[in-house]
Structure 1
């Protein structure tokens, strides 16, 4: 496959693009938690151990920008924001589930040694 440019960056294969968009420490866990329900920022923060406010905010913005999640703000006092998966988000969660299951298999194999 030829190189391609996406958002001003050169990619050498499509897997590299996907890994960059949903890889890392926090994006998959955020998407995983949104797979079955809509969550508020505070619920995500409480449910994901060790993530800082800054990191959660950054990751949510990137996932929204890339089209994986939808952010809905309610005009009320205090303000309320909810996050949910888009269709693209639902698709990627299915892939994350396959990768997760393979990771669990690798862990089990390691524990047998």
Structure 2
């Protein structure tokens, strides 16, 4: 890497900062989670990551590919067949997210109640 390229590369404040640069985006952690199961076709990902638009899913897949986290495999067939696979680095990142998934599962009911209460704050009387 040239000295100019190193100077243009953003410095990270810590390891978490570097991680968040890769997984930033509403859907990227879910994409990584579902790809940990193995090669996955676009349609399967679209069904698994509910509520994501095609435009955003495609954009986030391209960003993850550019970041070296996944590979896009185009089989050049008719009808088209494409799937996505985590790279070795992507697998390690997805496994690092597993404790967050476990925490969410353990605390899901409490979080749902808290979010419902918080969402109700804006619906009360205004004085």
| TM superposition score normalised by structure 2 | 0.74
Higher helix share: 2
| TM superposition score normalised by structure 1 | 0.82
Q: CA deviation at 1:43?
A: 1.3
Q: CA deviation at 1:111?
A: 7.0
Runs of 4+ in structure 1 over 2 Å off: 5-11, 102-113
Q: Which runs of 5+ in 1 are unaligned?
A: none
SS of the residue corresponding to residue 11 of structure 2 reads strand
Higher strand share: 1
Q: Find the structure with the greater CA-based Rg.
A: 2
Q: Which runs of 5+ in 2 are unaligned?
A: 1-5, 115-127
Q: CA deviation at 1:79?
A: 1.8
* CA pair 82-110 structure 1, distance change in 2 beyond 3 A: closer
SS of the residue corresponding to residue 79 of structure 2 reads coil
Q: CA deviation at 1:38?
A: 1.1
CA–CA separation in structure 2 for the residues paired with 1:6 and 1:58:
27
Q: Residue in 1 aligned with 2:10?
A: 9
CA–CA separation in structure 2 for the residues paired with 1:54 and 1:93:
23
Question: Alignment RMSD, CA only?
Answer: 2.3
Judge which range, 70-79 or 103-112, deviates more: 103-112
Q: Residue in 1 aligned with 2:122?
A: none
CA–CA separation in structure 1 for the residues paired with 2:28 and 2:8:
19
CA–CA separation in structure 1 for the residues paired with 2:62 and 2:70:
9
- Answer yes or no: is 1:26 the counterpart of 2:27: yes
